[in-house]
Chains A and B, each alone.
Chain A
């Protein structure tokens, strides 16, 4: 469990970081390292270069966005108390790993890693969030709906760094609920669901049972059953595809009920 050889770059500014990314074809960005380092050690990833952004000063901010949103910089740790001001983040963060992994792991790193069983990508999608990405070529925004392309795959180009994630706030009168089912506290979820009720709109997002976090169109009268028809879970050592469908059914029902209660 030792990584292959790689070059290590530790830029002191965003420009330097973006230059480093532009200069290599297969660099990986090191932020908290909670997913990257195990993947390196297991040789699942073999980048030529690691770009360590932990010295880049401008990436440590948590600010209010122009619209009613929270803007979270690329270095902000999952344990950062400033994140609790956002109701959706406050609801999901306790489920993300354990205290020690949250102390190192970053919000943006989890999103860029795009593990369907991770809570933060699902949460960003649940609140219609946005990723702000930068490269030596410039800056652009990618909506969460367009960000996640497949397992561990995002719409970021090879030279782009996810510099900020933008988290729209819930509105007055919104109802929100998040449920996940894991076999132990802190494990990756077998299934997780977020539901947001906004007026007559019902937004349901599932994770861990589809290649990417996925927005479902659910029937308000039988949310769980209608959700099941839209997923094709693959099963694992922890359960059959039928079992994962059952978890979708149960968790969608539970989150929708809770979100409706909150909205009421």
Chain B
């Protein structure tokens, strides 16, 4: 970028990514580039071909005879050497890193073969003698909910929903279904595990993304204190979008293989394994009851959600149900809100972190309901929303379920979106097109985008008396060290997966130390033995721009204060950073009396207001809340069911934008995942529980040419609670797009029973009914 005026901060500028040159030169260091320990042997995982089966026999002996095979770890070994994974709620079935005696989803690990290379390991997989006795699988969450497969049933009441519904002029009662979809990063999971028998410790390299709560989960399963599970992440990651959080289960599995077989073990997951058995979003069926006055005021909202988390409640699940808990009312002022949350197990892959995490599911139900209500009341959907939006003067605003919305001007954002979309003209054109027999529709969605998850919200899944010690907050650490020659090195534990954390941290630190961003080296590899991490560290809930940056800013400010004090003490106001650094390192006697030597600071920062859930089950589930208002215009081909997005407008208020270029990347990326969920992506199991979408031939993720070109605008209402006023914005469009497109399609087709993903085949089935 060009020179900047001396007074102009680096933060807020569209600085090109500092990461990109290495990536473009092929110098990125991803997990499969690491060769951190000599003589690692290669693992392949034997996986269940049945959704539910007894394992009658598992005999690895024939595989052991193949030349090149080191050994086999079986489910029985796993049960002997480890403990079940702890999760947010007690699960009816213990979850180990591999199945023993019973398999519960297609793709579940039942054994690990370790060999001199992956080819031999895969050959040996075919030689393991396994005899299964298939059992009836449970695949339908609605059936599972009335059985022992219902793992949790909690109800929440805020205000008085019953009496508000009783006085409503209109009660909308509808059900909405969110499919299970994936994140499809370019890079799949990878683990290198090295057990030390002498130290009774595991060192593992994995493309893990946090939250580091899962480090504790893995250590617990291994029966190790956290200090004995040294987990390292590579500096680069080929994307995650949440899904790589669940690699922790394979850290345990490969750690056990290394322990049993006495060799370092390397496992790089392939795409078939990834699609079938890594993780996916939860599936959700939501019954909504919503009461409105005839003028369109939303009086009460009741949700009844059945959450399909797959075969096991794998940490941090059932967090998908609770991540949005403070935002159950979305962007609206309604005070009467109730929710019943039931978590069910099915014989499908376990769910987990996935971009949007609970937002797409919640807003499909809420935002479809708002549009349905408007139509039934004869109101414009935009007018109905505007009537109910939280007003700019209301901030900071406490929601009925406990969130503290920090800042915003929702009405103005909505107006911006309507103006940019030429909403009234588009609505008139769509109506005219429909009169001619075309199927054109306009839809919208208004969503509150929470960021920086409160680590305590998950305890809501248990009743108050069973919650154990209180949990809260969301802290992140950062270390900045300045060398004797003035070089600045930052160590962050935010585990970036392509978002550009190095660039933004360099901007933040450069402003505070009066240097250029290119003078700041940011190390993104995490080592739990040496990095400044907390249990909340990692890359999830769009927390970087709040707490990742907050920790970097705090460390930089403390260093800056120290430098300023030394400079004053030296009596040389123009002393260069290099001169100061040289003095600290080479001549500590010259420091001000009593000053700690050294020129390095480790700082921790936690977003404020994130208390544990209270006795009334209210929780500030997130530290910051942005806003997104979208307008979608679609046309449906009557003959083929094909959906074309004619226009997509998305207006964001994520507080202060730290780097507008990266912000645009996040909005576009979030939109891509939202369009995937709206138009393309869905995991499908057949009646026996076989995954029908097990390769990219059948699991269709949109590619760049398949995406609409969005028109993006921003407002900036800085968060008063966060050091730079910046909120997360990586997930908003993932939350808004499925709802906005569903509303547009409902408008085009003139019916309410529409359910994403709107693939041509599914849309055509609607048309022929």
Q: Are chains A and B native binding partners rather than an unrelated pairing?
A: yes
A239:B706 contact, CB within 8 angstroms: no
For the complex of A and B, the 5 pairs showing the least CB-CB separation, nearest first, are A239-B761, A1-B270, A250-B639, A237-B692, A2-B119
A239 touching B760, Cβ below 8 Å: yes
- Which of chain A's residues has its CB closest to B692's CB? A237
Instruction: Answer yes or no: B135 CB below 8 A from chain A CBs.
Output: no
Contact B765 A240 (CB under 8 A): yes
Q: Can you give 7 contacting A-B residue pairs, CB < 8 Å?
A: A4-B123, A184-B680, A190-B760, A238-B759, A239-B764, A240-B765, A243-B765
A52 to B321, CA, bound (A): 54
A252 to B733, CA, bound (A): 38
CB <8 Å contact, A188 and B118: no
A242: contacting residue among B639, B759, B768, CB under 8 A: B768
Residues from chain A with a CB closer than 8 A to the CB of B702 are 184
Which residues from A are CB-within-8-Å of B641? 243
In this assembly, does B535 line the interface, its C-beta being within 8 Å of a C-beta of chain A?
no
Smallest Cβ-Cβ distance to A3: which chain B residue? B119
Q: Which residues of B contact A42 (CB under 8 A)?
A: 272
Q: Kindly list chain B residues whose C-beta atoms are within 8 Å of the C-beta of A190.
A: 760-761
Query: Which B662-690 residues have a C-beta within 8 angstroms of A?
Result: 680, 684
Given contacts A2-B118, A184-B706, A240 and B761 within 8 Å (CB-CB) = yes
Q: Answer yes or no: B6 CB below 8 A from chain A CBs.
A: no
Residues B118 and A185 in contact, CB atoms below 8 Å apart: no
Q: How far is the CA of A236 from the CA of B271 in the complex (A)?
A: 21
Q: Is B587 an interface residue (CB 8 A)?
A: no
A137-178 with Cβ < 8 A to chain B? none
Tell me which residues across on chain A come within 8 A of B642, comparing CB atoms: 181
Determine the distance from Cα of A129 to Cα of B395 in the docked complex, in whole angstroms.
72
Q: With A and B bound together, what is the CA distance between A36 and B461 in angstroms?
A: 49
Q: How far is the CA of A186 from the CA of B705 in the complex (A)?
A: 10
Q: Mark B457-496, 1 if CB is under 8 A from A, else 0.
A: 0000000000000000000000000000000000000000
Question: Is the CB–CB distance between B700 and A184 below 8 Å?
Answer: yes
Q: Are B700 and A246 in contact (CB under 8 A)?
A: no
CB of B644 within 8 A of chain A?
Answer: no
- CB A236 to nearest CB in B, in angstroms, measures 8
Q: Are B122 and A2 in contact (CB under 8 A)?
A: yes
The residue among B641, B700, B702, B761 with the most chain A CB atoms within 10 A of its own CB is B761
Are A243 and B761 in contact, with the CB atoms below 8 A?
yes
Contact of B693 with A by CB under 8 A: yes
Option from A184, A239, A250 in Cβ contact (under 8 Å) with B703 = A184
Contacts of B3 in A (CB 8 A): none
Interface residues of B in 702-744 (CB under 8 A from A): 702-703, 705-706
Which of B639, B684, B706, B759 lies in contact with A246, CB distance below 8 A? B639
Cross-chain contact A1 with B271 (CB below 8 angstroms): yes
Judged by DSSP, the binding face of A is: loop
Proximity string of chain B (624-646) to chain A, C-beta cutoff 8 Å, 1 when within and 0 when not: 00000000000000011110000
Q: What is the CA–CA distance of A216 and B114 in the complex, to the nearest angstrom?
A: 53
Residues of the A chain whose Cβ atoms lie less than 8 Å from the Cβ of B764 = 239, 243, 246
**Residue of A1, A237, A240 ringed by the most chain B CB atoms within 10 A:** A237
Task: Name which residue of chain A comes closest to B637, CB basis.
Answer: A250
Contact of B706 with A250 in the complex, beta carbons under 8 Å: no
Task: State whether the Cβ of A183 lies closer than 8 Å to any Cβ in chain B.
Answer: yes
Contacts of A240 in B (CB 8 A): 761, 765
Number of residues of chain A lying within 8 A (CB) of chain B = 25
Please report which residues of chain B, range 246-286, place their CB below 8 angstroms from some CB of chain A when the two chains form the complex. 270-272
- Minimum C-beta distance from B638 to chain A (A): 10
Question: CA of A190 to CA of B697 in the docked complex: distance in angstroms?
Answer: 11
> How far is A250 from B642 in the complex, measured between Cα atoms in Å?
12
The minimal Cβ–Cβ distance linking A4 to chain B, given in whole angstroms, is 7
Q: Would you call B698 an interface residue if the criterion is a C-beta within 8 Å of the partner chain's C-beta atoms?
A: yes
Q: Do B693 and A237 touch across chains, with their CB atoms under 8 A apart?
A: yes
User: In the complex, which residue of chain A has the Cβ closest to the Cβ of B638?
Assistant: A250
The interface residues of chain B lying within 8 Å CB-to-CB of A243 are 641, 760-761, 764-765
Q: Chain A: which residue is nearest B691 at the CB level?
A: A237
Q: Which of A1, A43, A185 has the most CB of B within 10 A?
A: A1
Question: Which A residues touch B640, using CB under 8 A?
Answer: 181, 246-247, 250
The distance in angstroms between the C-alpha atoms of A243 and B764, with both chains bound, is 7
A238 surroundings in chain B (CB, below 8 A): 698, 759-761
Q: Mark B307-348, 1 if CB is under 8 A from A, else 0.
A: 000000000000000000000000000000000000000000
> Which residue of chain A has the shortest Cβ distance to B679 in the bound complex?
A183
In the assembled complex, which residues on chain A have CB atoms less than 8 Å from the CB atom of B705? Answer: 184-185
Interface residues as binary, A226-264 with B (CB distance below 8 Å gives 1, 0 otherwise)? 000000000011111011001100100000000000000
Q: Is A67 an interface residue (CB 8 A)?
A: no
- The answer to whether A185 and B706 have CB atoms under 8 Å apart is yes
* Chain B, range 638-659, C-beta contacts under 8 Å to A: 639-642
Q: In the complex, which residue of chain A has the Cβ closest to the Cβ of B768?
A: A242
List B contacts of A4 (CB < 8 A).
Answer: 123
In the complex, A42→B122 CA distance in Å? 11
Give Cα A240–Cα B705 distance, bound, in whole angstroms: 26
- A206-227 toward B: CB 8 Å interface, digit per residue (1/0)? 0000000000000000000000
CA distance A190 to B331 in the complex (A): 41
Nearest CB on B from A235, distance (A)? 9
Task: Give, as a whole number of angstroms, the nearest-CB distance from B66 to chain A.
Answer: 11
Instruction: Give min CB distance, B566 to chain A, whole Å.
Output: 56
Q: Chain B residues near A188 (CB, 8 Å)?
A: 697
| A198 → chain B closest CB, angstroms | 27
B759 touches A1 (CB 8 A): no
Q: Does A5 contact B (CB under 8 A)?
A: yes
Within 8 Å CB of A239, what residues of B? 759-761, 764
The residue in chain B whose Cβ has the minimal distance to the Cβ of A42 is B272
CB-contact partner of B700 in A1, A183, A250, under 8 A? A183
> Do B684 and A237 touch across chains, with their CB atoms under 8 A apart?
yes
Q: Is there an interface contact between A5 and B680, defined as CB atoms closer than 8 Å?
A: no
Apart from A183-B760, A239-B764, A240-B761, what are 19 other A-B pairs with CB-CB below 8 Å?
Answer: A1-B122, A2-B118, A2-B122, A3-B119, A42-B272, A183-B680, A184-B680, A184-B703, A185-B703, A187-B700, A237-B692, A237-B693, A238-B698, A238-B760, A238-B761, A243-B641, A243-B760, A243-B761, A246-B640
Bound CA–CA A178/B605 (angstroms) = 61
Distance in Å: Cβ of A152 to nearest Cβ of chain B: 14
> Which chain A positions have C-beta within 8 A of B118?
2
- Whether the Cβ atoms of A5 and B119 lie closer than 8 Å is yes
Residues 81-126 (chain B) with a chain A CB within 8 angstroms:
118-119, 122-123
Complex CA–CA separation, A228 to B119 (angstroms):
46
Residues of A with C-beta under 8 A to B698: 236-238
Q: Which residue of B lies closest to A254 (CB)?
A: B639
Which B residue sits closest to A251, measured CB to CB? B640
In the bound assembly, the distance between CA atoms of A238 and B679 in angstroms comes to 12
**Nearest Cβ on chain A to B161's Cβ, whole angstroms:** 39
CA gap between A24 and B153 in the complex, in Å: 63
Q: A residues within 8 A CB of B693? A: 237
Q: Report the nearest A residue to B699, measured CB to CB.
A: A237
CA distance A184 to B698 in the complex (A): 11
Q: Which residues of B contact A236 (CB under 8 A)?
A: 698
* CB proximity of B716 to chain A, nearest CB, Å: 36
Q: Mark B210-252, 1 if CB is under 8 A from A, else 0.
A: 0000000000000000000000000000000000000000000
Q: Which residues of A contact B692 (CB under 8 A)?
A: 237
Query: Taking CB as reference atom, which chain B residue is nearest A249?
Result: B639
* Contact status A1-B272, CB under 8 Å: yes
Chain B residues near A247: list those with CB within 8 A. Answer: 640
Shortest B189–chain A CB gap in Å is 14
* Residues of chain B contacted by A184 (CB below 8 angstroms): 680, 700, 702-703, 705-706
**In the complex the two chains form, what is the Cα distance from A246 to B697 in whole Å?**
22
CA distance A250 to B693 in the complex (A): 26
The CA of A2 and the CA of B122, in the complex, are separated in Å by: 7
- What residues of chain B lie closer than 8 Å to A183, measured between beta carbons? 680, 700, 759-760
Q: How far is the CA of A246 from the CA of B640 in the complex (A)?
A: 7
Q: How many angstroms from the CA of A224 to the CA of B302 in the assembled complex?
A: 49
A223 CB to closest chain B CB, in angstroms? 14
Taking the closest CB of chain B, its distance from the CB of A86, in whole angstroms, is: 26
Q: For B765, what are the chain A residues with a Cβ–Cβ distance below 8 Å?
A: 240, 243
**How close is B99's CB to chain A, nearest CB, in angstroms?**
22
